[in-house]
Amino acid sequence: MSAGSNPHEAWGTRIGLILAMAGNAVGLGNFLRFPVQAAGNGGGSFMITYFIALLLLGIPLMWIEWGIGRHGGRYRKGHLPGMFAALWRHPAAKYLGVIGMVIPLVVMIYYTYIESWTLAFTVFSLTGDYWGRGTQAEMVAYLHSFQGIGGPAARVHAAWTPYAFFFVTLALNIWIISKGISGGVEKLARIGMPVLFVLAAVLAGVVVMLPAGPDGSTAWTGLNFIYAPDLSRLGEPRVWLASAGQIFFTLSVGMGSLQAYASYLSAKDDIALNGLATAATNETAEVVLGGSIAIPAAVVFFGVSGAMAVAQSGSFNLGFATMPVVFQQLPAGQLLGALWFGLLFFAGVTSSVAMLTPILAFFREEFGFRREPVAIAAGVVTLVFGLMHIAWLEHGFLDEWDYWAGTFGLVVLALIETVIFVWIFRPEQAWRSIHEGADIRIPAVFKFVMTVVTPAYLIVILTWWGWQDAWPILRMERVAVDSEFYVLLSRGIIVAFAVAFVVLVRIAWRRNGYDDRRGLVATTGREEVEEGL
Amino acid sequence: MSGSAIAFMAVSWMLVLGLTAWSFRRILRSPRR
């Protein structure tokens, strides 16, 4: 496979590329968030709206992002400011792309912190650290103590413990990223993805074979809990929004990282089939494996009502409190606990390494820095702001970033990139671009979907979320008085990141003499040619 | 499991597994591109 955005960077093999893309997509959301969302939003009804969102949002956005990325790669741009400028000859294009720099950086920082919990709990499982805390309440207290919630009196571990695991997790991420695309990210995916699928299959097999619980519930009762259709709920906007949100979260669309990965492709590489394979692999991990572990296990031990209560109390309580309670009641529970948290860790790390890719691409391509120093600098930034998350988790610092960058921001960026790629670049150009080197012909109906249905769907989601969630959150209606300072600080940091990237983009454009109105200079391999859009 | 839940689960699984198997079969025909 030839290099797009950098002559020295390329994917080694097609399978490696797809595993890395799928690794980017498969994350904590597949195993923790999906079953909770499905069970809490009408089971089978949720699945109907979920597959509609997959068809009308997920897969079209996957093709759009692969298309934007590969097109940007022709201009040696692995970052969205450059990719947007390559598609739209307007000074505003590069600044809109800044959203695609802020989101992956912000998400990377708090996601790595959550990822470090999974590493910590892998170790805690192997050492039997939480053994003896056999109830949900005791495990929630244990989780909170690790997270530093509840004050020093309730602390089980030394205060430095979460900091140490965060540091190790971050160092591992930075080490992998510093090894490059084929030497780091692709190697990780080729090892991590098969391991992840094997671990998930083993755990799903164990859960399905569990004997009936105290109230006679089995794993099949749990699957029934997820899939039993409540068709009356199809009329609720909440169910449609929940499924659309899950599709965004699980496929990692609207983030900027899929585009960065795709920039390392050439014009003769397929993106239509590869994009579809990536989405399908992620869906297998989510629907088949993700739905068959946590909720069915919780139902066996706590019954449907108990599992429902756990699910409503949050995805983290299900994964980090309920599952450890379950493992303590099973033979080889310590090993199974390590498998579960190891699975989450692999799922997390294959996603987080993708998030810094556009940031590294920006500094390498626009300022000529080497990969290693940029990776280390990005690691230092992640460390500094990650420490704030550890210190101020209980004040909603992480929730604020998760909402504005990891939820609302994804939809905003998805809408902007769809408008630029499909409407401004023109539907015919976009369609032709996606089909360059394609192994399959995408059904023509998707041209209409990408042009009309996907943007309309995104506008509806944004409007609804804006009215229902974003405005009350912005007004801090649900924030405790003693947390208001931390929430404002967290928002201020996101704004500061955006301002910093706007300034850096401006400097880069001046430094490299880019003319927004004339368009960027495309490259073919190492040979540069002037090319119109 | 109720019949309708089994039906929903079967359709969901067949859809994602079928799509994954089909796409990888096509990819393995030309693994270098």
**Percentage, residues of chain A above pLDDT 70:** 96
Q: What would the 3-class secondary structure string for A71-102 be? A: HHHCCCCCCHHHHHHHHCCCHHHHHHCCHHHH
Q: How far is A407 from A309, CA to CA, in rounded Å?
A: 24
What confidence category does residue A314 fall into, taking pLDDT thresholds of 50, 70 and 90?
Answer: confident
Quick check: A178 pLDDT over 80?
yes
In angstroms, what is the C-alpha Rg of chain A? 23
Quick check: A376 pLDDT over 90?
yes
Full DSSP string of A395-421: GTHHHHHHHIIIIIHHHHHHHHHHIII
Chain A interface mutation, best of B2, B8, B11, B24, highest count of A Cβ atoms under 10 Å? B8
Quick check: A439 pLDDT over 90?
yes
Question: Contact A227/B26, CB-based, under 8 Å?
Answer: no
Q: How far is A186 from A13, CA to CA, in rounded Å?
A: 9
CA dihedral A381, A387, A390, A392 (to 10 degrees): -100
Q: How far is A498 from A311, CA to CA, in rounded Å?
A: 35
Query: Considering CB atoms only, which of A220, A284, A440 is closest to B1?
Result: A220
**Percentage, residues of chain A above pLDDT 90:** 70
pLDDT for A4: 46
Tens of pLDDT, residue by residue over A97-152, are 999 999 999 999 999 999 999 999 999 999 999 999 999 999 999 999 999 887 77
Closest CA to B32 of A13, A49, A446: A13
Lowest mean pLDDT among A281-285, A286-290, A337-341, B28-32: B28-32
The first and second tokens of residue A525, run together, are 């391999």
Question: Contact B12/A287, CB-based, under 8 Å?
Answer: yes
Question: Contact A43/B5, CB-based, under 8 Å?
Answer: yes
Note whether A63 and A78 are within 8 A (CB): no
The first and second tokens of residue A112, run together, are 């790595």
Tens of pLDDT, residue by residue over A191-208, are 989 999 999 999 999 999
With a CB cutoff of 8 Å and minimum separation 6, the contacts of A410 are A103, A248, A249, A253, A254, A255
Lowest mean pLDDT among A75-84, A119-128, A257-266, A462-471: A462-471
Give A391-395 contacts, CB < 8 A, sequence gap 24+.
A391/A148, A392/A486, A392/A490, A393/A147, A393/A148, A393/A149, A394/A147, A394/A148, A394/A149, A394/A150, A394/A483, A395/A482, A395/A483, A395/A486, A395/A487
Q: How far is A430 from A418, CA to CA, in rounded Å?
A: 10
pLDDT for A5: 46
Structural domains in chain A, CATH included, are 14-514 (1.10.4160)
Q: How far is A334 from A124, CA to CA, in rounded Å?
A: 9
Q: How far is CA A396 from CA A311, A316, A377, A478, in A?
A: 20, 15, 26, 10
Q: What predicted TM-score, i.e. pTM, was given to this entire model?
A: 0.92
Quick check: B27 pLDDT over 50?
yes
pLDDT for A6: 52
Residues of B in CB contact (< 8 Å) with A are 1-2, 4-6, 8-9, 12-13, 15-17, 19-20, 23-24, 26-27, 29-33
Question: Contact B1/A44, CB-based, under 8 Å?
Answer: no
Question: Contact B33/A440, CB-based, under 8 Å?
Answer: no
Tens of pLDDT, residue by residue over A338-363, are 999 999 998 999 999 999 999 999 99
Sign of CA dihedral A73, A76, A81, A86: negative
Q: How far is A312 from A292, CA to CA, in rounded Å?
A: 18
Closest CA to A424 of A117, A71, A152: A71
Q: Report the pLDDT averaged over residues A54-75.
A: 96
Note whether A136 and A322 are within 8 A (CB): yes
Q: How far is CA A150 from CA A113, A131, A160, A392, in A?
A: 19, 21, 15, 12
Q: How far is A498 from A67, CA to CA, in rounded Å?
A: 25
**Chain B residues lying within 8 Å of A281, measured CB to CB:** 20
Question: Contact B5/A281, CB-based, under 8 Å?
Answer: no
Q: How far is B2 from A293, CA to CA, in rounded Å?
A: 19
Quick check: B33 pLDDT over 60?
no
User: What ranges do the domains of chain B cover?
Assistant: 1-28
Question: Contact A220/B4, CB-based, under 8 Å?
Answer: no
Q: Report the pLDDT averaged over residues A171-182.
A: 93
A269, closest residue in chain B (CA to CA): B33
Q: Which residues on neighbouring strands pair with residue A229, listed in sequence order?
A: A43
pLDDT for B31: 66
CA dihedral A278, A280, A281, A286 (to 10 degrees): 120
Mean per-residue pLDDT over chain A, rounded: 91
Quick check: A52 pLDDT over 50?
yes
Planar angle of CA A158, A164, A165, nearest 5 degrees: 110
Q: How far is A518 from A271, CA to CA, in rounded Å?
A: 28
